[in-house]
Amino acid sequence: MGEVIVVTSGKGGVGKTTTTANLGTGLAQLGYKVSLVDADIGLRNLDVVLGLENRIVYDITDVTGGHCRMRQALIKDKRYDGLFLLPAAQTKDKSAVNPDQMKVLCEDLRQEFDFVIIDCPAGIEQGFRNAIAGADRAIVVTTPEVSAVRDADRIVGLLEAAELRDPKLIVNRVRYKMVKAGDMMSIDDIIDILAIDLLGVVPEDEMVVITTNRGEPVVSDDRCRSGAAYRNIVRRITGEQVPLLSLDEGGFMGKIRRMIGFK
Amino acid sequence: MNAVLEFITRIFNKDGVASKNVAKERLRLVLVHDRANVSPQLLQDLKADLIKVISSYLEIDEEALEVNFENSENQVALIANIPVKNVRRPVS
């Protein structure tokens, strides 16, 4: 019996889809069987982030509507053994699926997969309610900005109201230099405000843009810091204790060390 | 050139408050309202009801009445400041 995890944030553009893609890929690289579910119906994106956009035949609404079997709709990622995607529908809206159907879908998926990771749409309306309906636990993604943290706080409240207790936080796109200069809220500041457990911190990194351009999640890139951050988060999800990545870039020498392959 | 300018404005930044502290303080305040699920309308209604109830016992300065939520140490408190003008005499 696998575990169903929903990745949510309230605010759009903080990195839910990127996080979902990287956690899924990372877990698959560790040998787990993973199904990623794009619950953002009408604004399908997880497929392009994963580089699987050309292989979609059926989507989530075909499964919930009984037009095809689950097996037919799941796209197997050929690069990573054990990684599958259930894409969202692009031409329908959020009301094409309801929370009860999502619960059934998640129950079906957890029979076959170790992890089912759901990419939640932005907002707090039906798309959000669908995405969290079948989840066992939630990951809240935020960035160190007032708007994102405020929305994260709202989401934490709504998750608790839906009996999804103890959500875990990922702080994305942290710029260490700005934190150091006192121009960006630190991880401690954010934890202080949201009062939930930290699952991980991902530094701002151009490599995320570059790898996403190619449709390859950054977690499989061994050289960059964001990839390392995602790999640590993945290990924490599997229950391993992994210390937080130092956000300090280590100055000039640190850069050189990283260039020649020392972490 | 830009970097130099930035550096100079930073040095002469007279406010002296790191912008992250501003962000944190603003968030704190806005979340007090968010979490209490209080709209300005609700606060107005609450105020009106308070005036109604208290007025039957005390004569209060309705204009100066303040009702607000305050946040301290992870706790939200409803703080009402109600200036009393006069105590009404018992009717009987």
Torsion of CA A76, A229, A133, A95, to 10 degrees: -70
**Contact: B24, A189; criterion CB under 8 Å:** yes
**Contact: B19, A182; criterion CB under 8 Å:** yes
Nearest Cβ partner for A182 among B18, B26, B34? B18
CA–CA gap between residue B6 and residue B8 (Å, rounded): 5
Identify whether B45 is part of a domain: yes
**CB B79, CB B71: distance < 8 Å:** no
Please state which of the ranges A42-56, A117-131, A238-252 shows the lowest mean pLDDT. A238-252
Arithmetic mean of pLDDT, A190-201 = 96
* Banded model confidence at residue A8, pLDDT cuts 50, 70, 90: very high
Identify whether B55 is part of a domain: yes
Identify whether B20 is part of a domain: no
**Residue of B3 and A251 predicted with greater confidence:** B3
| Domain of residue B59, residue span | 38-92
* Banded model confidence at residue B75, pLDDT cuts 50, 70, 90: low
**Contact: B35, A183; criterion CB under 8 Å:** no
- Which of A142, A155, A159, A193 is most worth mutating to test chain B (most B CB atoms within 10 A of its CB)? A193
pLDDT at A172 over 60: yes
Residue B89, CA distances (Å) to A224, B56, B58 in order? 77, 11, 9
Identify whether B74 is part of a domain: yes
pLDDT at A254 over 70: no
**What pLDDT shows up at residue B66?**
84
**What pLDDT shows up at residue A263?**
44
Task: Give tens-digit pLDDT for A218-235.
Answer: 999 999 999 999 999 999
- Which of B19, B20, B22 is most worth mutating to test chain A (most A CB atoms within 10 A of its CB)? B20
- Answer yes or no: CATH 3.40.50.300 is held by domain A3-259: yes
Write out the H or E segment, with its range, that includes residue B68.
strand B66-72
**Contact: A184, B26; criterion CB under 8 Å:** no
Shortest CA distance from B71: residue in chain A: A193
Q: Where are the domains of chain A?
A: 3-259
Arithmetic mean of pLDDT, A191-217 = 96
Q: What angle do CA A137, A140, A145 make, to 5 degrees?
A: 170
CA–CA gap between residue A136 and residue A106 (Å, rounded): 10
Identify whether B87 is part of a domain: yes
Distance from chain centroid for Cα A251: 30
Identify whether B15 is part of a domain: no
What is the complex's ipTM, to 2 decimals? 0.78
Alpha helices in chain B (DSSP H): 2-11, 19-36, 40-55
Residue A222, CA distances (Å) to A12, A20, A227, A228 in order? 28, 18, 7, 7
pLDDT at A164 over 80: yes
What is the DSSP code string of B41-66?
HHHHHHHHHHHHHHHTTEEE-TTT-E
Nearest Cβ partner for B24 among A179, A185, A195? A185
Q: How many structural domains compose chain B?
A: 1
**Residue of A178 and B10 predicted with greater confidence:** A178
Task: Give tens-digit pLDDT for B4-57.
Answer: 766 666 655 545 678 999 999 889 888 887 887 666 677 788 888 999 998 888
